[in-house]
Structure 1
Amino acid sequence: MLGWYQARLAARPLLTQSITSAVLFAVGDVTAQQLVEKKGFENHDLARTGRMALYGGTIFGPAATTWFGFLQRNVNLRTTNRTILARVALDQGVFAPTFIGVFLSSMAVLEGTSPQEKLEKSYTPALLTNYMIWPFVQLVNFKFVPLHHRVLFVNVISIGWNCYLSYLNST
């Protein structure tokens, strides 16, 4: 399975990482609905899962792939540790705040609700929770994970994060 994924990644990196993001965003939502909210399959909101997959595949996957490439090419300091810390700082100071807002706004638009109300209600709690988790995850990501696997690593960790975001978005 890993060999197949590696071949797809080498042949079509952006598409492969986008599809992977779509699938794992959907998994995060299914986890939220079934394990956290305990909706049961008869009450599962397929449209909500679809919105998460759509966002993951069309917005997050391409953006994260591009972002990690940008950081790899453009943030290179005198030492490896300084480079890693600078990448984490940029990721958490620029990408995270932006894409939490993009996520919440996108979900509101797809749900036919007010992006402004969604942001007022959920942005700060999501960002604060982000800062308790993601700086450490990204430190590991930038230190140990090769560039071509960083989106996959983030997406695997994001199963839990997307479960949280999906739940936060639905409340």
Structure 2
Amino acid sequence: MALWRAYQRALAAHPWKVQVLTAGSLMGLGDIISQQLVEKRGLREHQTGRTLTMASLGCGFVLPCRADSQGPVVGGWYKVLDRLLPGGTKVDALKKMLLDQGCFAPCFLGCFLPLVGTLNGLSAQDNWAKLQRDYLDALITNYYLWPAVQLANFYLVPLHYRLAVVQSVAVIWNSYLSWKAHQL
């Protein structure tokens, strides 16, 4: 509980910094889990550069356009959803989830996968082929996890805690994304 209260205080005092550092840390943790538990690389074969790249993507890829927008793209997206669809009923939560999963998720994956390919040195042609091969599978996998999480998140969780819920679940998702993005 003390850790949660400290997180809440830091989030209230420095929302942008805390969210960016949290996103980067959890993206890096997801890659560590991917390399160690999924790919079973072991410590000697762990690709530290890959972990740092994924952590950097967590910090940099999700940065907002303005420092006063209070958080990464995901946090900003939740604010947009609340402006577009104000209210907290079950129907409102369902509409937010459908918009989130119908618009945000496909765009996020369509940007994330080629960005990782580019950072891994893939040529434009190889990157396009990898995107064509992996995108649909990643999007379908997204739909196994995120709609239920987001429906509960939009219905049960106050706006200022939604990002924390997503980031907690994202450890699992980031492990999958790292594995998927680094398959050749």
State the superposition RMSD in angstroms.
Answer: 1.4
**Which residue of 89, 97, 110 corresponds with 1:88?**
97
Deviates more, 1:59-68 or 1:118-127: 59-68
Q: CA deviation at 1:72?
A: 1.6
Q: After superposition, where does 1:1-171 map in structure 2 within 5 Å? A: 1-60=3-62, 62-76=72-86, 80-113=89-122, 114=124, 115-171=127-183
Task: For 2:139 and 2:6, locate their aligned partners in 1 and report how far apart those are by CA, in whole Å.
Answer: 35
Q: CA deviation at 1:152?
A: 1.6
| Runs of 5+ unmatched residues, structure 2 | 64-71
TM-score (norm 1): 0.94
Task: For 1:145 and 1:124, locate their aligned partners in 2 and report how far apart those are by CA, in whole Å.
Answer: 29
Task: For 2:86 and 2:5, locate their aligned partners in 1 and report how far apart those are by CA, in whole Å.
Answer: 30
Q: How many matched pairs?
A: 170
TM-score (norm 2): 0.87
Identical amino acids, percent of aligned pairs: 41
Structure 1 residue runs of 4 or more that deviate by more than 3 Å after TM superposition: none
Per-residue Cα deviation, 1:133-166 (whole angstroms, up to 9, x for no partner): 1100101111112211211211111111111111
Task: For 1:144 and 1:60, locate their aligned partners in 2 and report how far apart those are by CA, in whole Å.
Answer: 24
Other-structure match for 2:69: none
